[in-house]
């Protein structure tokens, strides 16, 4: 995994600065301000490629922090864009972890799919989290080792976390962590999961 340089004040010809934005497109503070001042981000444009930047929304129209479930969608869209545009080199900074208030442990897992993209750089703090979650080149979380499937008690390859998001009707319930074998993981996640497991990549969520 490539590492985004610290204190990025200069971009090479094909490099793109990837920063956290809000859905109002008000790039007025923090890294978004920097994106506007130095790298031609477009004020009013909340998402996507603009100037020498790519905006990933981490806050809503009222500049309040988005739930991880929403940020996941924007990061997925971003990763698709990275894959489709190999001519650019994308330098992701610690999005979501400054003004939006998340920690790298919350945000970094969203980028796991991009681990082997040659044109993607992530901040050191994200790389550390991803390295801790992943074994070698496979996608099996280290934390599954020694765990048994919750359903059938076979060896577990997947760890599944349930998040209680801000809009959950029952805010007091406990978040659930469980472990699943490949078969039962695929029953929940469908065809996409089968493909991953067949390639010896066993995602955890």
- Which residues are near Zn ion by CB under 5 A? 149, 151-152, 154, 157, 181-182, 184, 197, 202
Q: Which residue number, 102 or 139, has a Cβ lying nearer to Zn ion?
A: 139
Six token digits for residue 98: 């400054």
Please choose, from the candidates 164, 167, 166, 158, the residue with its C-alpha nearest in 3D space to the C-alpha of residue 186: 158
Shortest separation between residue 135's beta carbon and Zn ion, angstroms: 13
Q: Which is nearer to Zn ion, 86 or 138 (CB)?
A: 138
As measured in angstroms, the least distance from the Cβ of 136 to Zn ion is 15
Give long-range contacts, CB 8 A cutoff, 24+ apart: 147-151. 147/179, 148/179, 149/179, 149/180, 149/181, 149/184, 150/178, 150/179, 150/180, 150/184, 151/180, 151/181, 151/184
The residue (of 64 and 154) whose beta carbon lies closer to Zn ion is 154
Q: How far is the CB of 177 from Zn ion (least distance, A)?
A: 16
Whole-angstrom CA distances from 28 to 36, 46, 70, 75, 199 are: 8, 12, 21, 21, 43
Pick 18 or 149: Cβ nearer Zn ion: 149
Q: Shortest distance, CB of residue 193 to Zn ion, whole angstroms?
A: 7
What is the Cα–Cα distance from 31 to 148, expressed in whole angstroms?
A: 43
- State in angstroms the smallest separation of the CB of 189 from Zn ion: 9
Identify the helix (H) or strand (E) that includes residue 178: strand 177-180
Using a 10 angstrom Cβ sphere, with 0-12 exposed, 13-18 middle and 19 or more buried, the burial of residue 172 is exposed
**Between residues 124 and 201, which has the closer beta carbon with respect to Zn ion?**
201
């Amino acid at each position: 995994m490539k590492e985004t340089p610290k204190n990025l004040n200069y971009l090479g010809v094909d490099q793109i600065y990837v920063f956290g934005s809000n859905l109002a497109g008000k790039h007025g503070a923090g890294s978004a301000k920097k994106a506007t001042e130095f790298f031609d981000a477009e004020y009013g444009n909340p998402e996507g490629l603009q100037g020498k930047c790519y905006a990933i929304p981490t806050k809503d129209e009222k500049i309040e922090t988005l739930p991880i479930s929403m940020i996941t969608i924007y990061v997925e869209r971003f990763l698709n864009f990275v894959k489709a545009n190999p001519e650019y080199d994308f330098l992701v900074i610690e999005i979501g972890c400054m003004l939006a208030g998340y920690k790298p442990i919350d945000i970094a897992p969203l980028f796991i799919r991009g681990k082997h993209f040659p044109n993607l750089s992530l901040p050191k703090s994200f790389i550390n989290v991803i390295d801790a979650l992943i074994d070698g080149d496979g996608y099996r979380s280290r934390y599954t080792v020694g765990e048994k499937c919750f359903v059938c008690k076979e060896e577990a390859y997947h760890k599944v976390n349930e998040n209680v998001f801000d809009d959950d009707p029952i805010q007091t319930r406990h978040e659930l962590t469980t472990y699943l074998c490949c078969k039962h993981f695929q029953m929940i996640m469908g065809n996409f999961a089968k493909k991953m497991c067949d390639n010896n990549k066993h995602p955890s969520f």
